[in-house]
Amino acid sequence: MTTQDTHAPAIDQEKLDAFMGAFVGDLGAAATTALVLIGDKLGLYRAMADSQPVTSTDLAERTGTRERYVREWLCQQAASGYVTYDADHGTFRLPPEQAMALADEDSPAFIPGAFQLVAAMVKDEPHITERFRTGAGFGWHEHHQDLFEGTERFFRPGYLGNLLDAWLPALDGVQAKLEGGAHVADIGCGHGASTIIMAKAFPNSTFVGSDYHEASIEAARRAAQRAGVADRVTFDVAGADDFGGGPFDLVCVFDALHDMGDPVGASRHVREQLADDGTWMVVEPFAGDHVEDNLNPVGRVFYAGSTMLCTPNSLSQDVGLALGAQAGQERLTSVLNDGGFGSVRRAAETPFNLVLEARP
């Protein structure tokens, strides 16, 4: 009979110190979430977008806020490197690079939506903690309202920066079809950002966006009206396995296939709705095929989202395949093949997205 070694492992003080140093950085980033949301909601960043120096009094007057709160907020933002501080004059400045990321919602570098998304995950933590115990799912529609708006604002900058200039041109023959007049489906469209971007760029084409979340579809319809494309864009409440309106020349799914309970079934339905010479563009979070490929800053973000959002959503639906947000091209290709798509290739990529072109 052997006895278990109860001695605690030796602590390497240097490694502990390095970890604690990294933790302080993480803690500061987490604590900054609320302050970024405040700056976004109150227009503090937008009021500094000209990159001119301001005092806390100046900024408070511009935004109709209270100076003492603004002063503390500015100091934290300076400590975070989001604004700069001039000690000689007691002024703060939002540099143009930070202004592009924090104050311009139409910038491809806009980041407050990411913080809104993180806030939604924190608010729903008690629900996900309970699912860890029970194994049950937690549907997209069950999350805090911040998730729906935050998701659109998080992904929209990437679509603005890449969809028209890189992703669609990388698909074989699709650009010409869109310019001439194509029929396009955008499944899992959420608030419709991707659909509207395409509709504005290709006035000869028609678009059908669909999502099972009714409140998101209502928001998408309002957005289409504001963008002036409601005459060419229809938004329907429908799942990925029962949307209609085909045959489509192009079907798109943006960062949503891995969220589905039955992505193979959805693929089969896309195949049924696709024209014989049609294309399915599948945009997914960037990931390698193995866990070790994804142990990096981007994987850290997507594994967090996958744990709190994507996997619970899939588990709440029939089949519950739970691909997760770091499925990788090999696993995604297998799903598409099983759904009836014999040709799958990587058409484009960014640090945050894989773009797959699937054909029957």
Q: What kind of architecture, by CATH, is found in domain 29-102?
A: Orthogonal Bundle (1.10)
Domain boundaries, the chain: 29-102, 157-359
Structure tokens that stand for 273 in this block: 């709705």
Beta strands in 70-144 (DSSP E): 84-86, 91-93
CA distance 333 to 158: 23
Mean pLDDT of 18-46: 97
- What are the two backbone dihedrals, phi and then psi, of residue 254, each rounded to the nearest 5 degrees? -110, 110
CB 178 within 8 A of CB 202: yes
- Closest alpha carbon to 300 in 313, 311, 285: 285
CA distance 49 to 341: 47
* Residue with tokens 């592009």, as numbered in its chain: 100
Q: What angle do CA 22, 25, 26 make, to 5 degrees?
A: 90
Does the structure show a pLDDT above 90 at 17?
yes
CB 238 within 8 A of CB 307: no
pTM for the predicted model, two decimal places: 0.92
Going by pLDDT thresholds of 50, 70 and 90, the confidence category of residue 1 is very low
pLDDT tens track for 219-277: 999 999 999 999 999 999 999 999 999 999 999 999 999 999 999 999 999 999 999 99
CA distance 270 to 280: 8
Does the structure show a pLDDT above 90 at 186?
yes
Amino acid at 213: H
pLDDT tens track for 44-103: 999 999 999 999 999 999 999 999 999 999 999 999 999 999 999 999 999 999 999 999
Share of the chain above pLDDT 90, in %: 98
Mean pLDDT of 10-30: 95
Per-residue pLDDT at 5 = 58
Residues contacting 283, CB < 8 A, separation 6+: 167, 252, 253, 254, 255, 353, 354, 355, 356
- Closest alpha carbon to 112 in 79, 255, 104, 95: 104
CATH topology of domain 157-359: Rossmann fold (3.40.50)
Does the structure show a pLDDT above 80 at 3?
no
Mean pLDDT of 180-193: 97
Mean pLDDT of 119-148: 96
Mean pLDDT of 133-153: 95
Going by pLDDT thresholds of 50, 70 and 90, the confidence category of residue 6 is low
pLDDT tens track for 293-349: 999 999 999 999 999 999 999 999 999 999 999 999 999 999 999 999 999 999 999
Per-residue pLDDT at 205 = 98
- Give SS3 for 56: helix
CB 223 within 8 A of CB 235: no
CA distance 171 to 178: 11
